[in-house]
Amino acid sequence: MSGRLSGRASVALISTLFVVGIALDQVTKAIALAKLTPGHPVDVVPQVLQLDLVRNPGAAFSTGTGFTVGFSILAACVLGAVIVWVVPKVRSRWWAIIVGLGLAGVGGNFIDRVFRAPGPFRGHVIDFFSLRHFAVFNVADILLTATAMLIIIDVVFLRIGLDGAPTDPKASEDTR
């Protein structure tokens, strides 16, 4: 998984994951909007998983509902910064996957904030997966969670740099 890629291959992998992730997020949200009614959850796995349409102006667990514009601006800054400063440095297949999934997650919810009611940069994120005694979330949130988990795996176990080289000094000594 830590294979090195050319710059072009890295950008292609990141871009593919970004486009596929956003498409999956937006298509599932469109289906949820067409098929679900707020306040009328549908059991998928009784007592575990429901489909429950929620328009969320805030962040995770509906926190920060009055900060929608701020979340929009923050997402735009994150997308821009990662595209400008991180993507050009990625040569690791592992990190290309992480970056592609992360960009898709941020991008999917950013699209909602920009294009959905009640208006640009104030739009509510469409959430519809509901786990019992947990949050209501969407595909973009799943991608962001997967990104966080992969980063933790890298930091704790793999220690692969963006360029594909080991970040652990002991690992680089072992390869000499």
Query: Which member of 141, 154, 163, 174 is catalytic?
Result: 141
Side chain identity at 132, as an amino acid letter?
Answer: R
Side chain identity at 24, as an amino acid letter?
Answer: L
Q: Work out the percent of the chain whose per-residue pLDDT is above 70.
A: 94
Active site residue 168: no
Query: Which member of 52, 112, 127, 154 is catalytic?
Result: 127
Q: How far apart are CA 34 and CA 174, in angstroms?
A: 56
What residue ranges do the domains of the chain occupy?
12-134+142-170
Q: How far is CA 120 from CA 73, 97, 110, 125, in A?
A: 11, 30, 10, 12
Active site residue 141: yes
Longest Cα separation, the chain = 61
Most confident of 31-40, 52-61, 64-73: 31-40
The predicted-structure confidence for 94-130, as pLDDT tens digits, reads as follows 999 999 999 999 999 999 999 999 999 999 999 999 9
By CB atoms closer than 10 A (0-12, 13-18, 19+), residue 112 is: buried
Q: Which residue intervals of 36-138 are DSSP H helices?
A: 68-81, 93-115
